Amino acid sequence: MQTELSKQLGVEHAVFGFTPFPAVAAAISRAGGFGVLGAVRYTAPDDLKRDLDWIEAHIDGRPYGLDVVMPAKKVEGVTEADVEAMIPDSHRQFVRDTLAKYGVPELAEGEASGWRITGWMEQVARSQLDVAFDYPIRLLANALGSPPPDVVARAHERGVLVAALAGSARHALKHKAAGIDIVVAQGYEAGGHTGEIASMVLTPEAVDAVAPLPVLAAGGIGSGRQIAAALALGAQGVWLGSLWLTTAEADLHSPALTRKLLAAGSGDTVRSRALTGKPARQLRTEWTDAWDDPHGPGTLPMPLQGLLVADAVSRIQKYEVDPLLGTPVGQIVGRMNDVRSVQAVFDDLTRGFEQAVDHVNRIAGRSGQ
């Protein structure tokens, strides 16, 4: 499937795959899509460098991109310690009590948390960019608002397209005004940070708001039928994140979490502030229930909540404490029911797309399809 955007980026299919795993990103690009590596977990520039080197060695020269989390609002001179100091003791106690209730073991001395607030801070994102701009990335995506003007300019100087996620037509228009090249319209059903407006409504609204800027549809897409639907809605491609979590190349480090993803239905996710303080869709667990409980302390605003729960989430994941174990994932999780290679998943997408086009042509009475 070819759109103006896929032609511009030199990919065979207008399928953009977001993933934290270099092996998945490379496999998506090799399959004819466009792999986008999520950089938020790279707090050390050398780790990112190592993984981008790996991608370069395994992507057969295909194009790929990077996704960073750069807050739209700049916070000057605030350290992690400053943010730590803003967290109420009662919330820390709630974390301790909840972990104790489920018998979650402590991390070993000096064992780093897997998920740190630092990945969300602008200086870290900038150090990621310093690394990434030495590589031939073709796309830079930002998950929290438009990136700062100097970052957009720096990307454009290098011929790198800039994409930004939007949950409403209003957000999409802000991105356009900020000189962004591609809007990723992230529907309610998507994994991770989402708004309230579902893809069926959001995609065409975003398309019409920012035309002729291209829009990628994100949220609820995991089959060729859904790709055909998104393209019918006017998107120039689709942005898939959840679907790759259960591929063979993904490295969740947790067989229990993979089992939960494979078993979950479309109704087993929740849009909760438990992870970061902003609403993000994830597996519903007893952990998210504890934070969403009206009788509990409730969540703190971003970035406090993320910092508050970082170690707890690491402990839950490391020790695979089943009732608490979760991950950001969209409603499409209900269709992620077996572990397959990225190539096999991709082949299903493109074959399913062709079948869906045939199907719609039959309904439309277009013969010769």
Rule CB under 8 A: say whether 253 interacts with its own copies: no
Rule CB under 8 A: say whether 225 interacts with its own copies: yes
To its own copies, the closest distance from the beta carbon of 31 in angstroms equals: 18
Query: Phi and psi for 153 in degrees, rounded to 5?
Result: -65, -40
Angle at 51 between CA 49 and CA 52, to 5 degrees: 65
Write the interaction track for its own copies spanning residues 314-333; mark x where CB under 8 A is met and - where it is not.
Answer: ----------------xxx-
Q: Of 83, 107, 173, 201, which one interacts with its own copies (CB under 8 A)?
A: 201
To its own copies, the closest distance from the beta carbon of 69 in angstroms equals: 23
Q: Are 45 and 76 in contact (CB under 8 A)?
A: no
Only segment of 50-58, 62-70, 110-118, 184-192 that touches its own copies (CB under 8 A): 184-192
Please tell me the distance from the alpha carbon of residue 102 to that of residue 41, in angstroms, as a whole number: 26
- Nearer CB in complex with its own copies: 335/340: 335
Rule CB under 8 A: say whether 182 interacts with its own copies: no
Rule CB under 8 A: say whether 240 interacts with its own copies: no
Q: Of 22, 187, 191, 326, which one interacts with its own copies (CB under 8 A)?
A: 187
To its own copies, the closest distance from the beta carbon of 300 in angstroms equals: 17
- Nearer CB in complex with its own copies: 82/358: 358
To its own copies, the closest distance from the beta carbon of 357 in angstroms equals: 5
Rule CB under 8 A: say whether 341 interacts with its own copies: no
Rule CB under 8 A: say whether 229 interacts with its own copies: yes
Write the interaction track for its own copies spanning residues 267-296; mark x where CB under 8 A is met and - where it is not.
Answer: x--------------------------x--
Only segment of 23-31, 55-63, 75-83, 215-223 that touches its own copies (CB under 8 A): 215-223
Walk across the sheet containing 280-283 and list its strands: 192-193, 280-283, 269-272
Only segment of 30-38, 222-230, 248-256, 311-319 that touches its own copies (CB under 8 A): 222-230
Rule CB under 8 A: say whether 196 interacts with its own copies: yes
User: How many residues at the interface with its own copies, by CB under 8 A?
Assistant: 54
Within residues 5-34, the interface with its own copies by CB under 8 A covers 14
Rule CB under 8 A: say whether 354 interacts with its own copies: yes
- Nearer CB in complex with its own copies: 156/225: 225
Only segment of 30-38, 104-112, 128-136, 218-226 that touches its own copies (CB under 8 A): 218-226
The 3 state secondary structure assigned to the chain is: CCCHHHHHHCCCCCEEEEECCHHHHHHHHHCCCEEEEECCCCCCHHHHHHHHHHHHHHCCCCCEEEEECCCCCCCCCCCHHHHHHCCCHHHHHHHHHHHHHCCCCCCCCCCCCCCCHHHHCHHHHHHHHHHHCCCCCCEEEECCCCCCHHHHHHHHHCCCEEEEEECCHHHHHHHHHCCCCEEEEECCCCCEECCCCCHHHHHHHHHHHHCCCCEEEECCCCCHHHHHHHHHCCCCEEEECHHHHHECCCCCCCHHHHHHHHHCCCCCEEEECCCCCCCEEEECCHHHHHHHCCCCCCCCCCCHHHHHHHHHHHHHHHCCCHHHCCCECCHHHHHCCCCECHHHHHHHHHHHHHHHHHHHHHHCCCCCC
Rule CB under 8 A: say whether 309 interacts with its own copies: no
Q: Which residue ranges make up the site for its own copies (CB under 8 A)?
A: 1-3, 14, 168-169, 187-189, 195-202, 204-205, 219-221, 223, 225-226, 228-234, 265-267, 294, 330-332, 334-335, 353-354, 356-357, 359-361, 363-366, 368-369
